[in-house]
Amino acid sequence: MQRSSAVPSFDKLVVEKDPPDSRVSAPFKEVTSATQADEDWELKFYERVKQDPAVPSYFKTTFGILVANNRDLRAERAFLHNHLNRK
């Protein structure tokens, strides 16, 4: 398999909106809505990366791993936030 040495064009991947900030000290309800907004933004961005033929497959794989890890970390953060605020 031959790899292209050309740098992928990310011009098509310009995002119209910045990702939402995380709200660590916010109440759980707000954290959940911010989490959903973060996840939606990441999934849309990942779909654009997957569809772009100029992006090498190893970048697509890396983006997929990062999106999955971020989702897992947000779920863990929400669990801990909920668990620690019960007291």
How does pLDDT run across 10-53, given as a tens digit for each residue?
444 444 444 444 444 444 455 556 678 878 888 898 999 999 99
pLDDT at 4: 52
pLDDT at 53: 95
Question: For the residues 75-85, what does the mean pLDDT come to?
Answer: 88
Using CB atoms within 10 Å of the CB of residue 85, give its burial: 0 to 12 exposed, 13 to 18 middle, 19+ buried.
Answer: exposed
Cβ distance 26 to 34 under 8 Å?
A: yes
Q: How far apart are the first and last CA of the chain?
A: 57
